[in-house]
Amino acid sequence: MKKLITLFATVVLVAITATVSAQVTGTATGSATIITPIAIANAGNMNFGSIAVSTAAGTVVLTNGSTRSATGGVTLPAVAGTVSAAAFTVTGLGSSTYSILLPTTYTITRLTGSETMTVNTFTSNPSGTGALTSGTQTINVGATLNVAGSQVAGTYTNATGFPVIVNYN
């Protein structure tokens, strides 16, 4: 019986020792890198210039290269006025890429009335994705202005502006 108790105690001791020696610990370090936040600033407003209208609706397409064309009942007079695509300066971590999100629609209103025109079909250069090869890049944005037939004469604007959103990829 004494041998049986000794044998049982030895087996329990070996089991406890095997369990304790089977536990091991690994370690890892944590780290983080804070990067320069991406930023976007207005570098120039969009301006479709002077436009003549008839009784028929039409459009003015302003490219992101600041050239324009007309369709429908819209004509572009010889005295163009100020014509410019919008421009934005993007800054951030050099050698990073970022996504560009343009608005789908934007409304401008006559300064001395309630008449409106819709701006849509926004385009940009670069398109969709930009690259901050030296930590900065300019985005040029064009769009299409939808002009109603017999649109009331005047200056149309929207002081709030339209959003262009950028985000690191």
As a whole number of angstroms, the distance between CA 107 and CA 119 comes to 6
Instruction: Name the β-bridge partners of 63.
Output: none
Tell me what pLDDT residue 11 has.
59
Q: Which of 48, 49, 66, 36 has its CA nearest to residue 141?
A: 66
Q: Give the DSSP letter string of 72-136.
A: EEEE--SS---EE-EEEEEE-STTEEEEEE--SEEEEEETTSS-EEEEEEEEEES-SEEEETTSE
Q: How many domains does the chain have?
A: 1
Domain contains 25: no
pTM as predicted? 0.83
3-state DSSP of 9-31: HHHHHHHHHHHHHHCCCCCCCCC
Which contiguous run of DSSP H or E holds residue 144?
A: strand 136-147
Tell me what pLDDT residue 4 has.
60
- The CA distances from residue 45 to 26, 40, 88, 135, in Å, are 58, 14, 9, 23
Domain contains 89: yes
Instruction: Name the β-bridge partners of 123.
Output: 142
As a whole number of angstroms, the distance between CA 122 and CA 143 comes to 4
Domain contains 5: no
As a whole number of angstroms, the distance between CA 125 and CA 13 comes to 75
pLDDT mean values, one per 10 residues, the chain (169 residues): 62 55 90 95 98 98 98 96 98 96 98 96 98 96 98 96 97
Tell me what pLDDT residue 22 has.
81
* DSSP 8-class letter at 57: E
Task: Print the domain residue range for 117.
Answer: 39-157
